[in-house]
Amino acid sequence: MDDSAAVRGAIRRVVEAETRLTVCDEARDGLTAIQKAKDVGCDLVLLDFNMPGLSGIQTAAALRLVLPNTKIIGFSVVAKEIGEQLVAQGKFDAFLSKLQGLTKLVETLKSLTPPVSETR
């Protein structure tokens, strides 16, 4: 979830090309992100901290209440130390600075999702 359609599109393309994950939906603001995550029943949510309406931090807190088993990753330009504190407090399952890039994001997504067993 990011307020920039271009950023959301780039993330979607990379995630779907480089992982076995399917992007269920996108949202530009916190309230919409919460509603869409509830409607879809997301396993994993990627949140920017700076979104219109509710911040990513407020959105994560609300998601923890309504979808407690959903993994939440902060992906933002805020200081890495702030992100790490929020992970330590249990508000996020992981944090990445956008400056680390999409390759690091893909690695983190893969580490937070169970491998898909192959069917024969």
CA separation (Å) from 110 to 8, 71, 115, 116? 18, 12, 8, 11
Q: Where do the domains of the chain lie, and which CATH numbers do they carry?
A: 5-112 (3.40.50.2300)
pLDDT in tens, the chain (120 residues): 666 788 888 888 888 888 877 788 888 899 999 999 999 888 888 888 888 889 999 999 999 999 999 889 898 887 788 888 999 999 999 998 888 888 888 888 888 776 554 443
**Which residue do the tokens 């992981």 mark?**
94
Tokens (6 digits) for 28? 């530009």
What's the predicted TM-score (pTM) here? 0.80
